[in-house]
Amino acid sequence: MRKSTPERRGDGKLTARLSGLFPPITNRQRSAVTITSLLLLSLVTGLYALKLADSGYGDVMYDHYFVSAGLIALNLIPPFLLIFAIYFATGRAWLGFGIGAGFILLLASINYYKLQLRGDPFMVVDFTYAVEAGRMLSHYNIDFKTPFTNAVTFVILGTVWTAVGCRYRFRGARRRIIASLATAATLFGLSSTVYMNNAVFAANTGSLENKFPTVNEAFVARGFVYPFIYSFKGAFPPSPDGYSAAAAKRILAQHPTEPIPAEERINVISVMLEAFCDMSEYLGDAVSPKVYDKWHALQKESLYGNLVVNTFGGGTINTERLFLTGNTHLTDIRGATESYVYYFRDNGYYAEGLHAGTSEYYNRVTVNRDLGFNNYYFIDNFPETSRTDWFFGQYLDWNRTDEFFFPKLAELYAKRDKSVPYFNHSLSFQNHGGYDWPTTEPYLLSREGFEEGTFDSINNYLIGVEDTVDRIGAFIDTLRNDPEPVILLLYGDHKPAFGLHFSFSDLDDDDDEGGTPVMYSTPYIIWANDAARAVLTQNDGVSPDSFVGYGGDFSPTFLMTRLFDLTGWQGDSYMQMTRAAMAETPVVNQAVESTEALAELRIVEYWRRKNFLRTKSID
């Protein structure tokens, strides 16, 4: 048996010199120092990633993590396995810690700032939008202060220490490879069997389960590392319980598609309003009446209610694409995809739209074609409009894009081919965050209770919203006087985010009473001109009273269904299924048990994602 002796083997001249500052130690002692150091550093890495996960929620959330031993273990094990897998593979402790901890804390920092800016956690699918996210950061004032600098400092100091004081290496490449593969296999095995297991996710809710009912909050309440790994399921969704292609076809066959009666094919325009909400509902008389007076007047002649969306402060496509497809869950669209746009086209409609932004945003230039639009316009299509002047210019100009948007939308509608029915789905851009520039005319009438930056942000938002509401009114006036029948749907995609020092949840108690979550509710309005009401009440027996009043609160999944209910149209097979699911579970983006109708809907939804079946045009 070979006796352990002091060694001076180094990985380089610099580290060898630095290690000379310490007294000689045996190989066994060096092994103990290295392994112990990596264990402790892995622990601190996992704990700090947890600390970053409580962004915007504070000590209440951080303390909540430690109530559940299982939740702590699920967040601390992956950093340990990753750091040791890299250490075994390279034979160098500083590489194991530097790469492993650096990677984990980089993702945790991204999650921290994404929660600060947009209110939703960083998930695997967000890598798809990395380029766009980097471009949008230029519109926010981000202070890379203590949380991020602490993480960088910790990684640098830990890397220096492991380079100088942790010099033990496994002897033999074969041993290192086996140890590395075994550790990596353990990480992969746990990820696939434990971390992405629905039952485990449901069981590890901690102590604040009832206070965090939405999808985003459910992730935050479980830390960062654990829910981030779990989010692989969202990026690559598994088939729902009971799924088979035969089952999906059998369910669909029970709901034959119904065409829109030829005499009822009226024009339909839907407009998704960026970050639109009624702040007077929460701030009351502190908001100048002139901001929302016209909106409230419009509600009185429309069907109105609230959507319960999945995202806060961002995630526009979640609301947008759930509305267009009727799906309960957002997935990447790669190729022709079943949607309500195609149903309109099957009924002879021409489908187009307009986005007051550039075509690369969320790859809409490709995805909207895959969703069935005949044509879709972006700011790129109008060279006479200076992008520098109104889109990428100063904040105030950036917050005035409706000056272009609504007149252009009216122009598209006026120039349409009037020999065929028309469907338009367009997206505004005005009122997009951030809002933190020096404010001008006060629309928020009281500063009491607001920090200066928060007051400026809300006030600037209200300035933009008043302009939006005015332009909506002018646009509706053109439709009001149109002899052609048309329905207009207006809805918000998500709430605006005003920074860390303002919380919608603090303004209302509905969250604790099982009502509509304040942070995730946005308004909708369905308005019909006199010509449309005349057609529908005459031909389909729709009650005139159905066009006015409260229309209910539900998920974006069911918004098109609600519009069809108003018109009396039955819709395609899938929409008929959404109608049954909506009756039982109007909000599907909260943690609710699956009903029979919802379970069947998800089976068909999964099948439709994999099977595009464009029907023949209906005469």
Confidence band for 528, pLDDT divided at 50, 70 and 90 = very high
Classify 231 as helix, strand or coil. coil
**Lookup: tokens for 479:** 């439709």
- Tell me how crowded residue 158 is: count the other CB atoms within 10 A of its CB: 25
Question: Would you mind telling me the total number of residues written for the chain in this entry?
Answer: 619
Distances, alpha carbon 72 to alpha carbons 123, 171, 172, 222, in Å: 19, 34, 35, 9
> What does 152-190 look like in DSSP terms, one character per residue?
HHHHHHHHHHHHHH-----SSHHHHHHHHHHHHHHHHHH
Look at residue 395 and tell me whether its pLDDT is greater than 50. no
Say what percent of the chain tops pLDDT 90: 50
List residues bridging with 492 in a β-sheet. 273
Q: Are 85 and 183 in contact (CB under 8 A)?
A: yes
256-274: per-residue pLDDT in tens? 999 999 999 999 999 999 9
For residue 23, the model assigns a pLDDT of 64
549-554, strands of its sheet edge to edge? 375-377, 350-354, 422-427, 267-273, 486-492, 521-528, 303-308, 549-554
Q: Are 565 and 305 in contact (CB under 8 A)?
A: no
Which comes out higher in pLDDT, residue 169 or 530? 530
Give the chain's end-to-end CA distance (angstroms, integer): 90
Look at residue 138 and tell me whether its pLDDT is greater than 60. no
Distances, alpha carbon 360 to alpha carbons 98, 311, 379, 420, 433, in Å: 35, 21, 11, 30, 19
> Whose structure tokens read 């009727």?
326
75-123: per-residue pLDDT in tens? 999 999 999 999 999 989 999 999 999 999 999 988 887 777 666 688 8
d(CA 117, CA 106): 17
Output DSSP code: residue 6: B
d(CA 457, CA 439): 8
> What does 522-589 look like in DSSP terms, one character per residue?
EEEEEEE-HHHHHHHHHHS---GGGGSEEEEEE-GGGHHHHHHHHHT----HHHHHHHHHHHH-S--S
Confidence band for 139, pLDDT divided at 50, 70 and 90 = low
For residue 396, the model assigns a pLDDT of 37
Confidence band for 439, pLDDT divided at 50, 70 and 90 = confident
Run of H or E including 389: helix 387-390
What is the rounded average pLDDT of the residues 354-364?
82
Which residue type, as a one-letter code, is found at position 409? L
Look at residue 437 and tell me whether its pLDDT is greater than 80. no
Phi, psi of 425 (to 5 degrees): -125, 115
Q: Are 124 and 235 in contact (CB under 8 A)?
A: yes
For residue 299, the model assigns a pLDDT of 97
Lowest mean pLDDT among 121-125, 395-399, 439-443: 395-399
Output DSSP code: residue 418: T
For residue 516, the model assigns a pLDDT of 64
For residue 252, the model assigns a pLDDT of 92
For residue 154, the model assigns a pLDDT of 94
190-242: per-residue pLDDT in tens? 998 999 888 888 788 765 554 554 566 677 888 899 999 988 876 777 788 89
What is the rounded average pLDDT of the residues 345-356?
96
168-177: per-residue pLDDT in tens? 877 778 888 8
Lowest mean pLDDT among 121-135, 389-403, 480-494, 582-596: 389-403
Phi, psi of 491 (to 5 degrees): -155, 150
What is the rounded average pLDDT of the residues 492-512?
71
Which residue type, as a one-letter code, is found at position 15? T
For residue 394, the model assigns a pLDDT of 40
Classify 339 as helix, strand or coil. coil
Look at residue 342 and tell me whether its pLDDT is greater than 80. yes
Run of H or E including 192: none
For residue 501, the model assigns a pLDDT of 66
Which comes out higher in pLDDT, residue 43 or 116? 43
d(CA 304, CA 149): 47
Distances, alpha carbon 268 to alpha carbons 53, 301, 409, 459, 486, in Å: 43, 17, 13, 33, 6
User: Ranked by mean pLDDT, which of 325-334, 440-449, 543-552 comes out on top?
Assistant: 543-552
Output DSSP code: residue 299: H
Which residue type, as a one-letter code, is found at position 107? L
Task: Please choose, from the candidates 602, 587, 565, 276, the residue with its C-alpha nearest in 3D space to the C-alpha of residue 430.
Answer: 276
Which residue type, as a one-letter code, is found at position 430? Q
List residues bridging with 529 in a β-sheet. none
Query: All domains of the chain, ordered by start, with CATH?
Result: 13-235 (no CATH), 256-610 (3.40.720.10)
